[in-house]
Amino acid sequence: MGGTVKKVLVTSNGDEISRNIAYHLVQRGCRVVLMGNESYLRSIGSRITDTLEGAIPVEVVGIDMEVEKESTFDEAVDKASRIMGGLDAFVHCYTYEGKLKDLLQLAEDEFKKTVNINFVAAWFLLKAVSRRMRDSKTGGSIVFLTSIVGADKGLYRGAAAYGSCMAGLHQLVRTSALELGKHQIRVNAIARGLHLQDEYPISEGKEKAEKLTKEVIPLQRWLDVKNDLAPTVIYLISDDSRYMTGSMILVDGAQSIVRPRMRSYM
């Protein structure tokens, strides 16, 4: 990480992926503020701090990601920035997929919830974080954690709303990189592959998914939520990636390449 303490804001719904990303960031010496459900994230922050001897304590800022009010997100980001004395990086991990549902059967309330959490909240957070990075004159790195369902070859049935939001984030990464570069703010995305606890493998049956792993995934395993994503996140927020912006990196074990083949098996 270049020997300097990075101040990183991480959004989290408390899932294994965001928990482990936060853990690895703290392990690398970053100062981390978690944002999401405050009561739930406090216990996660405490566990991370207690596990890593000498680690900088993990702070928490609470927010409801379904709120449709930009000022709420701006206030939450401002609080996180004041806690850390600025922002070097923002890692947006908070997503909501819900149960797989045919788009013609998806209820309006569920659609709105999916869009509000996955795209509207991301939009508001991007603006709030970018303003502070711009005003600090130091720039920064913004990373959106998305899914291959938002990529061209990662589609699966039942995720029309969620997949559309992920695709929207990929376009947001490109357009915001174009506009924020003048402030030395870099914006990138990581489109992750699926793990066995994701909705698609669950819907097909965990036993079936495990049995066919070697036949349908080139690396012959599903995503390891503990270790596969954090290295790429760390790279993107570090100075080593200082000339990278507007990029979407696939960390999927080539799942997206073989998606048609995977569907034929599963």
What is the reported pLDDT for 258?
A: 77
What is the reported pLDDT for 265?
A: 46
Report the C-alpha gap between 136 and 213 in whole angstroms: 47
Tokens representing 112? Answer: 């709105």
Report the C-alpha gap between 122 and 144 in whole angstroms: 8
Mean pLDDT computed over 28-39:
96
Pairing of strands 31-36, 248-251: unpaired
User: Helical H runs in 148-205?
Assistant: 160-180, 199-204
DSSP per-residue string spanning 48-106: HHHHSTTPPPPEEEE--TT---HHHHHHHHHHHHHHHTS-SEEEE------S---GGG-
Report the C-alpha gap between 254 and 266 in whole angstroms: 16
Mean pLDDT computed over 185-205:
89
Mean pLDDT computed over 175-196:
96
Check whether 244 has a pLDDT greater than 90.
yes
Nearest one of 161, 129, 159 to 144, comparing CA atoms: 129
Nearest one of 128, 29, 114 to 74, comparing CA atoms: 128
| Residues in CB range of 26: below 8 A, 6 or more apart | 32, 48, 49, 52, 55, 56, 58
Length of the chain counted residue by residue: 266
| Residues in CB range of 1: below 8 A, 6 or more apart | 28, 29, 30, 234, 237, 238
Query: What is the Cα 12 distance to its own chain's centre?
Result: 8
What is the reported pLDDT for 41?
A: 97
Check whether 209 has a pLDDT greater than 70.
yes
What is the reported pLDDT for 210?
A: 83
In single-letter form, the type of residue at position 175 comes to T
Per mean pLDDT, which range of 19-23, 51-55, 127-131, 185-189 is the poorest? 51-55
